[in-house]
Amino acid sequence: MFGDYSFGDLMSILAMQGFAGLILFSVFVLMALGLAIIFGQMGVINMAHGEFMILGAYMTFLTSHIFQTYIPVFYSGYFFVAMAVAFIVSGAAGLATEWLLIRHLYARPLDTLLATWGLSLIMQQAFRSIFGAREVGVELPDWMMGSLQVTDTIEVQINGLFVMGLTLIITGIVAVLMYRSRWGLQVRAVVSNRIMSGAVGIDTRRVDRLTFGLGCGIAGIAGSAFTMIGSTSPSAGQLYIVDTFLVVVFGGAQSLLGTVASALTISQSQSALEFFLTGSMAKVLTLLIVIGLLMLRPQGLFVLKVRR
């Protein structure tokens, strides 16, 4: 396959392929972050995670419309406003979900699985009723499209760079919140021993609610960012959910670092395999690798010591 190509050609492809792997990595981290902090903190697997992402995507769609219709002057910057709106709306929906649904089911973790799955179906049908069954196209301002010409043969996608930057910022914020804020301290205390944390005066209910809201809000931002690379339709959340679970489970439930490491492993092996094999085979092999590693380390890559 490489016989006819010059060394320069191959190098630039290698560079672009490396960049493709990095984009995939950022996408995975962004998808999984919200789910990981919820799962890590409360042991709740939020099956509706994908739908919270799509909620964010629809908010982006609405914001873009509003900007186009009422304030076209600021259109080129609408995306930042859209992400904020997505975070607030998805986060608020998350808080409401926790209050109405999840908190009644803490004693029954398996039932939360079923309840959030039901919620995901309800949300999908709600999107369908409100926005229509067809896909909506989210337009991007011109500066976010196309690619940067780095050298003659190397091109770097602008929206890829954008996603990477965004992932870096969000991960940074979450890390600071987790390890440098009072709320983060409480979260970590609840994770390692829920009963004792309650006994020393931490309002575990409140911590739970905020965590769930934050997780869903981040999902909203992710959904907003993914309008650049994917589709926005009522059931599009389903496209992301499998990969998201994979990243979270593989990374180990309670660890931010684990999520990042697992996203890195999966994305790099997948994008490298995709290049040498075909798309479907790459997926199969990636899954096999993950299963193999999980057999060796059932808790995932990184595990916190938790007292039960």
**Binding segment for other proteins among 165-173, 188-196, 236-244, 258-266 (CB under 8 A)?**
236-244
Residue whose structure tokens are 């380390």:
297
Cβ–Cβ under 8 Å, residues 154 and 178:
no
| CB closer to other proteins, 116 vs 233 | 233
| CB closer to other proteins, 2 vs 70 | 2
Query: Per-residue string for binding with other proteins, 258-287, x by CB under 8 A?
Result: ------------xx--xx--xxx-xx----
Question: Other CB atoms closer than 10 Å to residue 203's CB: what's the count?
Answer: 13
For other proteins, the binding residues in 167-206 under the rule CB under 8 A are none
Tokens of 247: 């990243």
| CB closer to other proteins, 193 vs 231 | 231
76 touches other proteins by CB under 8 A: no
Pairwise CA distance, residues 183 & 124, whole Å:
32
Cβ–Cβ under 8 Å, residues 105 and 115:
yes
| CB closer to other proteins, 168 vs 229 | 229
Query: Per-residue string for binding with other proteins, 16-55, x by CB under 8 A?
Result: xx-xx--xx--x----------------------------
Interacting residues toward other proteins by CB under 8 A: 5, 9, 13, 16-17, 19-20, 23-24, 27, 125, 128-129, 132-139, 145-147, 149, 155, 157-160, 226, 228-236, 238-240, 270-271, 274-275, 278-280, 282-283
